[in-house]
C-alpha cells in the first residue's frame, strides 16, 4: 500500500497515558507529509519527463530509421546512376569504335582507289609518251625524207644551174 501526503495528515493515533506529545507527533507528521508531497510531485514530474523523453527517443529512433532507409535508397540510386553511367560510357565507346572503324574502312577504300588512280595515270602517261615518241619519230622520218628530197632537188637544181650557165671560155 502506498501512502499519500493526505493519508499521513489524516492519520490519527490513540492517546495513552504517558504517550507521545501529540503536538510534536502532529508537527512531525506534518513535516513527513510535506516531504512526501514534494517527493510525489517530483516523482510525478520525473515520470512525465521520462514519458516525454521516451516519446522523444522514439521519434529520434523513427527518424534514424527513416534516415537509414533514405541513405540506403540514396546509395542504391547512386549505384544505379554509376551503373547507368558506366553502361552509357560503354555504349558511347562502342559507337565511337564502330564509327572509327567505318572511317578507317572508307579511308582504306579511298587509299586503294587513289593507288588504282595513280597506277592508271602512270599507264596513261606511258601510253602518251609512247604516242608522242611515235609522232616525233614519224615527224623525224618525214623531216629526213623531206631533207633528202630537198637535197635531191637542190642537187638537180645545181645541175640545172650548171647547164644554164653560159659557156665559159677556157683559155
Q: Quick one: cell of 161?
A: 644551174
Look at residue 127 and tell me whether its pLDDT is greater than 90: yes
Q: What is the pLDDT of residues 128-159, one digit of tens each?
A: 999 999 999 999 999 999 888 888 888 877 77
Residue 43 has pLDDT above 90, yes or no: yes
Q: Where are the alpha helices (DSSP H) in the chain?
A: 5-10, 22-164
Kindly report the three-state secondary structure assignment for every residue of 77-114: HHHHHHHHHHHHHHHHHHHHHHHHHHHHHHHHHHHHHH
Q: Where do the structural domains in the chain lie, given as residue ranges?
A: 5-159
b/e sequence 101-122, b meaning 16+ C-beta within 10 Å: eeeeeeeeeeeeeeeeeeeeee
Under the banding of pLDDT at 50, 70 and 90, the label for residue 35 is: confident
Q: State the DSSP code for 14.
A: -
Q: What is the pLDDT of residues 64-103, one digit of tens each?
A: 999 999 999 999 999 999 999 999 999 999 999 999 999 9
Phi-psi region of 17 (alpha: psi -120 to 50; beta: other; left: phi over 0): beta
- State the pLDDT confidence band at 171, using cuts at 50, 70 and 90: low
**Integer Cα distance of 58 and 46 in angstroms:** 18
Integer Cα distance of 155 and 149 in angstroms: 10
Amino acid at each position: 500500500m502506498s501512502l499519500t501526503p493526505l493519508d499521513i495528515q489524516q492519520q490519527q493515533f490513540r492517546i495513552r497515558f504517558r504517550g507521545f506529545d501529540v503536538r510534536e507527533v502532529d508537527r512531525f507528521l506534518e513535516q513527513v507529509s510535506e516531504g512526501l508531497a514534494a517527493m510525489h510531485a517530483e516523482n510525478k514530474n520525473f515520470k512525465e519527463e521520462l514519458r516525454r523523453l521516451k516519446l522523444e527517443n522514439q521519434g529520434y529512433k523513427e527518424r534514424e530509421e527513416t534516415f537509414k532507409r533514405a541513405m540506403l535508397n540514396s546509395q542504391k540510386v547512386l549505384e544505379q546512376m554509376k551503373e547507368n553511367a558506366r553502361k552509357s560510357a560503354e555504349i558511347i565507346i562502342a559507337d565511337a569504335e564502330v564509327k572509327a572503324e567505318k572511317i578507317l574502312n572508307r579511308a582504306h577504300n579511298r587509299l586503294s582507289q587513289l593507288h588504282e588512280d595513280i597506277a592508271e595515270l602512270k599507264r596513261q602517261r606511258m601510253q602518251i609518251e609512247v604516242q608522242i615518241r611515235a609522232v616525233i619519230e614519224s615527224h623525224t622520218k618525214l623531216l629526213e625524207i623531206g631533207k633528202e628530197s630537198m637535197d635531191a632537188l637542190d642537187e638537180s637544181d645545181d645541175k640545172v644551174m650548171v647547164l644554164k650557165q653560159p659557156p665559159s671560155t677556157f683559155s
